[in-house]
Amino acid sequence: MSDKITTSAQPQGPIEPTGEPGKASTLSRLVGRMIGGSHKGRTALATLFLVIALAALVTIPYATGRGMNVITEQGSTDELWDWVLLGFFAGGVYLLASYLANRMFAKLAAEALYSVQTDLFNNVQTLSMGFFFKNPPGELSSNVTNDGEVVSLFYTTAVSQILRSTLQVLMILVVMFVINWQLAVVATLTIPLLIGVAWIVARIASPAFNRLQELLGEVSAFQEETLSGHKVIISKNRHDWAEEQHEEQVGGVYQVGKRAFMASLMQFPATQSLSLIQNVLVLLAGTFLVASGEATVGVVLAFAGYSALLAAPLAEMANLITTTLNASAGGDRVFRIIDERPDVVDAPDAVDYEFKGGRVQFEHVDFGYVPNSLVLRDNTFDVAPGESIGICGPTGAGKSTLINIMTRYYDIDGGRILIDGQDLSKLTQHSLRKQIGVVLQEAFLFTDTVMNNLLYANEDATPEDAIEAAKKANAHDFIMALPDGYDTMLTERGANLSQGQRQMVTIARAMVADPKMMILDEATSNVDTRTEKLIQDGMRKLMEGKTSFSIAHRLATIRDSSRIMVLNGGEIVEMASHDELMADRGFYYALYMSQFKGRGPAGDPAEIAIDFVST
């Protein structure tokens, strides 16, 4: 046996960003999904309606000012009514065009949010097992919920409002300079200050909002873990520990959130103050210009209106910085997953697996979850069609890892795996996994009816197929005893069934799939003796005539296997039938004797020294 392998068998650490060099910024990607690509035409039309609305809005102060001039200059009543009617007409056009623009932008925002959410979820479905080892479910849930919410808020409020505010500012500035350049200069004196405030807030708040989204993901992961492990917390009286840990993590969110929101909230009073100063300056300058005869009262009144219309969008854009910064932080995490690509992909020349009996061959196979750290080393074996192989060994010996590469959840680092003489790396994953059924230690069931859970494994199966499979798996009787039989709705993960019942349903589900080969990973652990016998009987029917691999810690469950593969430290140290291994008095013999308290053949004591090695 080669040197001991002591490296952890699971990949560690959070996933790293996989964005390509030169990729557009997060905000530009978010905005592009709403107004770019196939949406450009509708965006242009919505923008046109917005321009019409803003043009009408800008007309209202102008009409008001001209009307005031008519009054101060003692003009005719008919002329005054002309300006009044123009103001009302402009108001009507503004309302109608704004409605049309907002409706179109709302639809564009909904479609953009839909595309982000679907791309995020759909891409996760394509990713390899390694991704899920590196990313806890809580953090992934945070990407779908917390980060999705801030992206949603950005789409529904920020994008269209920023566009509206930008156009409004530009149009008002043009009109102001056309009417009176002196007052226009005075009105724009505070704009650099407003921009400066926004820049300072962004410098302070942007890192804080990024950190806030990261901490929210960590809190979600902890909440997911403690909720899933509530039985352990209750049984060990660790409520105080859970509360303290949660309070500490939430406290971190509070501190970072306080800093982020404080910086962003200070922007509102700052922009409001600058807007008031702007109005005062305009009125003060306008008074002097009227007194000197360089402007009329109507022009000053119009500028007062323009000043208010100019301050509002500037303040709005400044206040939207919080939403934008949040969206940038959340969007970065969302796009990080959307950009992630599976580690295991079909070869360009991959072909469908053609079943020819189920022969499995490993030829000097090496594998490690992380580079330069092997978990399995130089494993070679040959399994004949229809042979049942039991797999055993100490915890961490590499048993589940062996199964993971056999189903190509991971690609191997060296050697070759053949199934029916076909190189595993040259087969399509879909065709391979369709022919290999897997029953795991954790019997996972969906929140759905029992029948739908059984049919989940085979789209072409009928309810009759499911019932027949349940009978073979010894699950039919207890299913019929449920309140609604096969139509009984299961709660999350099948929590309203016992562990043994859940396992029998998963075995029946595997039977419905009717695979050509079977893998069972500790399928009978943690159940009572009677239930174990029922499960084993179902498994025997499931594996009958199929090439099968069964991982077990309880060696009694695999002693009848054609051969037993013994792993230690990531290497196959023995492989033979139970009787042959016991006669050899080697590693398996010592394992077996340790489980049965030294009662070997003819009462032989088990005093063989063995070195257990975890990978």
Q: In the predicted model, is pLDDT for residue 5 greater than 70? A: no
Q: What is the 3-state secondary structure of 46-78?
A: HHHHHHHHHHHHHHHHHHHHHHHHHHHCCCCHH
Structural contact between residues 433 and 407, judged by C-beta atoms closer than 8 angstroms: yes
- Residue in the block written with tokens 């950190």: 211
In this structure, the chain runs to a length of: 615
Query: Tell me, what's the pLDDT at 138?
Result: 63
Give the distance from CA 607 to its chain's centroid: 51
Task: Reduce the DSSP state of residue 436 to 3 states and report it.
Answer: strand
**Alpha-carbon distance values, 410 to 44, 98, 145, 369, 596 (Å):** 47, 54, 29, 8, 36
Q: In the predicted model, is pLDDT for residue 230 greater than 70? A: no
- What value does the CA radius of gyration of the chain take, rounded to a whole number of Å? 35
312 confidence band (pLDDT: 50, 70, 90): confident
Query: Tell me, what's the pLDDT at 20?
Result: 42
Select the more confidently predicted residue: 370 or 271: 370
Q: In the predicted model, is pLDDT for residue 19 greater than 70? A: no
Structural contact between residues 515 and 434, judged by C-beta atoms closer than 8 angstroms: yes
Residue 590 and residue 555: Cα distance in Å, rounded? 11
Q: Exposed, middle or buried: residue 16 (CB in 10 Å: 0-12, 13-18, 19+)?
A: exposed
Residue 151 and residue 375: Cα distance in Å, rounded? 41
Residue 33 and residue 44: Cα distance in Å, rounded? 14
Q: Regarding beta strands 388-392 and 563-568, do their DSSP bridges make them parallel or antiparallel, or are they unpaired?
A: parallel
- Nearest C-alpha neighbor of 571 from the set 582, 585, 587: 587
- Nearest C-alpha neighbor of 551 from the set 560, 564, 538: 564
348 confidence band (pLDDT: 50, 70, 90): very high
Four-point Cα dihedral 174, 175, 181, 184, nearest 10: -80
Structural contact between residues 136 and 228, judged by C-beta atoms closer than 8 angstroms: no
For 598, the token pair is: 């030294």
415 confidence band (pLDDT: 50, 70, 90): very high
Buried b / exposed e over 180-195, threshold 16 CB at 10 Å, is: beebbebbbebbeebe
Q: Exposed, middle or buried: residue 392 (CB in 10 Å: 0-12, 13-18, 19+)?
A: buried
Q: In the predicted model, is pLDDT for residue 284 greater than 60? A: yes
Locate the DSSP E strands across 400-485: 414-419, 422-423, 436-439
Give tens-digit pLDDT for 235-271.
656 777 777 777 777 777 777 777 777 666 666 677 6
191-228 vs 297-319: helix crossing angle, rounded to 10:
30
Q: Please provide the average confidence, as pLDDT, over all residues in the chain.
A: 81
Q: In the predicted model, is pLDDT for residue 457 greater than 60? A: yes
412 confidence band (pLDDT: 50, 70, 90): very high
Q: In the predicted model, is pLDDT for residue 604 greater than 60? A: no
Average pLDDT of 525-539?
Answer: 70
For 146, the token pair is: 């917390």
Residue 348 and residue 330: Cα distance in Å, rounded? 35
Of all residues in the chain, the percent with pLDDT exceeding 90 is 24
For 546, the token pair is: 């199929």
Residue 181 and residue 174: Cα distance in Å, rounded? 10
Task: Reduce the DSSP state of residue 380 to 3 states and report it.
Answer: strand
Residues ≥6 apart with Cβ < 8 Å to 408: 344, 424, 425, 427, 429, 432, 433
Residue 606 and residue 612: Cα distance in Å, rounded? 16
**Alpha-carbon distance values, 510 to 400, 440, 451 (Å):** 19, 11, 13
**CA angle, 469 then 472 then 477, to 5°:** 90
Query: Tell me, what's the pLDDT at 216?
Result: 73
Residue 170 and residue 505: Cα distance in Å, rounded? 66
Query: Tell me, what's the pLDDT at 491?
Result: 81
Q: Report the DSSP beta bridge partners of residue 519.
A: 438, 549
Average pLDDT of 282-286?
Answer: 78
For 421, the token pair is: 């003489």
317 confidence band (pLDDT: 50, 70, 90): confident
> Is the pTM value of this prediction over 0.85?
no
In what side-by-side order are the strands of the sheet with 547-551? 436-439, 517-521, 547-551, 388-392, 563-568, 571-576
User: How many CB atoms within 10 Å of residue 128?
Assistant: 18
**Across the chain, which distance is largest between two alpha carbons, in Å?**
126
**Alpha-carbon distance values, 468 to 471, 494, 505 (Å):** 5, 21, 12
Give tens-digit pLDDT for 511-520.
888 888 989 8
Task: Reduce the DSSP state of residue 486 to 3 states and report it.
Answer: helix
Residue 252 and residue 548: Cα distance in Å, rounded? 50
Query: Tell me, what's the pLDDT at 214?
Result: 72
Select the more confidently predicted residue: 532 or 554: 554
Give tens-digit pLDDT for 101-116.
989 998 998 888 888 8
The helix, strand and coil proportions of the chain, stated in percent and rounded to the nearest 5, come to 65, 10, 25
Buried b / exposed e over 571-581, threshold 16 CB at 10 Å, is: bbbbbbebeeb
Task: Reduce the DSSP state of residue 373 to 3 states and report it.
Answer: strand
Q: Regarding beta strands 422-423 and 414-419, do their DSSP bridges make them parallel or antiparallel, or are they unpaired?
A: antiparallel
Domains of the chain: 26-338 (1.20.1560.10), 360-603 (3.40.50.300)
End-to-end CA distance of the chain: 14
Q: In the predicted model, is pLDDT for residue 575 greater than 90? A: yes
Structural contact between residues 588 and 393, judged by C-beta atoms closer than 8 angstroms: no
Average pLDDT of 355-367?
Answer: 94
Give tens-digit pLDDT for 24-53.
588 888 888 898 888 899 999 999 999 999
